[in-house]
Amino acid sequence: MIITNPKIHQPILELVGEEADKLGIECYVVGGWVRDLILHRDSKDIDVVVVGKASADGEVPRWGILLAEAVAKRLGRGSHLSVFKTFGTAQVKKGDTEVEFVGARKESYRHDSRNPIVEDGTLEEDQNRRDFTINAMAICLNKDRYGELLDPFGGMYDLEDCIIQTPLDPDITFSDDPLRMMRAIRFATQLGFNLTGECFDAIARNKERINIITRERIADELNKIMLSRRPSEGWLLLDKTGLLPLIFPELAALKGVETMNGRAHKDIFYHTLKVLDNVAEAQGGLWLRWAALLHDIGKPRSKKYEPKVGWTFYNHNYLGAKMVPKIFKALKLPQNEKMNYVVKMVDLHMRPINLIEETVTDSAVRRLLFEAGDDINDLMLLCNADITSRNEDKVKRYHDNYELVMHKMVELEERDRIRNFQPPVMGDEIMQMFHLEPCALVGELKSAVKDAILDGIIPNDHDAAVIFIRQLAKDKGLETY
Ligand code: ATP
Ligand code: MG
């Protein structure tokens, strides 16, 4: 079969083919780029595999590096060549296109490591070592066979049928490199594909092998799952295959329903996944998606049955926020402002709902604005996503109430500019006013001003704050100057 998609005729690929012809070697574009070409997905990284003859002494030259050098030379200025001698690979970059060159290779594995023993091989052997049929296709770039598809495992049919399966025995594929179990679930989620029964069963059988994979690599796959259109699909597969408790026990602990005196609480795992999908549908960013996944993570620990009230989860937001740094550390997610943002979202996610249940006071709205700052819109998005009741009237009532809270926020923000609150009177000025050295009293006066503004006692401006401080100082018996 010949691929005619115009993308295969882009100048850089034709040029690679011409240079390969000059060197007298075969050359193919392979793997993810071919898959994405057929699926009409964007993809910038191009992997090229080359197959060349051994020289007179029986050694196979590093054809990948030689071809990369020739290509970089032809591209001239604006292109950049990196050579990785130990791996026998090279990369050429031009603009935002990256082409990776490597000799065809075959791999064999030892039990205790996902790093294989690598030897030179044929194109077929190179295709055999690839993870899924849809990732094992190659397109020839040599002039006389340009566009010819080499698809020994029927990857094309699997793309049409939306199926993920391994080229060889799945038990061997997954046991050799258990990261492939994560990749299988990630591709299923990203592409909206199904795992075949054999593939699914083999993951379930080999799940314990995931323990030899580094947390960083698992995190990469989890982030790709999170950024998919319906991230819940990935988490459900992780659960059903039995991988979930091995890689993220706190999330697995959300599963299940307990009943007391005939009263059951809802299954927090499925609720969480619905909230996550809602955030994804509303185009929430990666870290808001993590916040959605973790928003109720403290519930199992705070769960209590109180005969008069039923199931309660007091302070689960607070407990959950405390769990986030430990979870981020264990999953090797970043320990920085992104984590702090997730902590804040988990911590604050009950505040808007408490606002609508009470009568909304300006003071409570101002305090929430103050604490959420610029993340207030994300918080409200999360809270709206958190409404997953099946009772449509209830859902509508909640959404309407949030709408009211949002209006109130806009109104108060215009008036009092609380989101990026800067105290209208600085510590220096307070010290001058009362001839004070830096001391606790300065801090107390400052925070009294902040509270007065948040409570609406005074407006957020300098003169009002000075009058307020003088009055307060007088009450405390301080002398002003
Ligand atoms: P994406 O770039 O979206 O992550 P991809 O399929 O291009 O997807 P890469 O990691 O870029 O993934 O790898 C390129 C190709 O290398 C894959 O398509 C596949 O053929 C092969 N490959 C990558 N990782 C593995 C693996 N762990 N086992 C077997 N083959 C792999
Ligand atoms: Mg890729």
Overall average pLDDT of the 359-388 stretch: 88
Rounded Cα distance, 245 and 399, in Å: 34
Ligand 1 pocket, residue 47 CB under 6 Å: yes
Mutate to test the pocket of ligand 1, among 36, 47, 131 (most ligand atoms within 8 A of CB): 131
Whether residues 116 and 80 fall in one domain? yes
Number of domain units in the chain: 3
Whether residues 18 and 137 fall in one domain? yes
Whether residues 116 and 147 fall in one domain? yes
Residue 72 CA, chain-centre distance (Å), reads: 34
Ligand 1 centroid distance, CA of 22 (Å):
29
Does position 209 have pLDDT exceeding 70, yes or no? yes
DSSP code per residue over 261-288: TTEEPPPHHHHHHHHHHHHHHTT--HHH
Whether residues 170 and 146 fall in one domain? no
Ligand 1 pocket, residue 177 CB under 6 Å: yes
Ligand 1 centroid distance, CA of 6 (Å):
23
Ligand nearest to the CA of 131: 1
Ligand 2 centroid distance, CA of 137 (Å):
13
154 assigned to some structural domain: yes
Rounded Cα distance, 300 and 269, in Å: 11
Ligand 2 centroid distance, CA of 93 (Å):
15
Quick one: tokens of 268?
A: 């927090």
257 assigned to some structural domain: no
* pLDDT at residue 151, rounded to an integer: 97
Rounded Cα distance, 20 and 346, in Å: 55
* pLDDT at residue 480, rounded to an integer: 63
Overall average pLDDT of the 95-107 stretch: 91
pLDDT tens readout for residues 108-145:
777 777 777 777 889 999 999 999 999 999 999 999 99
pLDDT tens readout for residues 309-352:
888 888 899 999 999 999 999 999 999 999 999 999 999 998 88
* pLDDT at residue 479, rounded to an integer: 67
Q: Which residues, 6 or more positions from 428, have their beta carbon under 8 angstroms from its beta carbon?
A: none
Whether residues 91 and 194 fall in one domain? no
Band of pLDDT at residue 481, cut at 50, 70 and 90: low
Band of pLDDT at residue 396, cut at 50, 70 and 90: confident
Ligand 1 pocket, residue 176 CB under 6 Å: no
- Of 131, 161, 191, the one marking the end of a domain is 161
User: Residue 112's domain is classified under what CATH number?
Assistant: 3.30.460.10
Candidate from 106-110, 136-140, 218-222, 393-397 with smallest mean pLDDT: 106-110
- Of 223, 247, 271, the one marking the end of a domain is 247
Share of the chain above pLDDT 70, in %: 99
Does position 364 have pLDDT exceeding 80, yes or no? yes
Please tell me the pTM assigned to this model: 0.90
Query: Could you tell me the residue range of the domain that residue 172 belongs to?
Result: 162-247
Does position 236 have pLDDT exceeding 80, yes or no? yes
Overall average pLDDT of the 86-113 stretch: 88
Average pLDDT, the chain: 91
Whether residues 33 and 114 fall in one domain? yes
* pLDDT at residue 357, rounded to an integer: 63
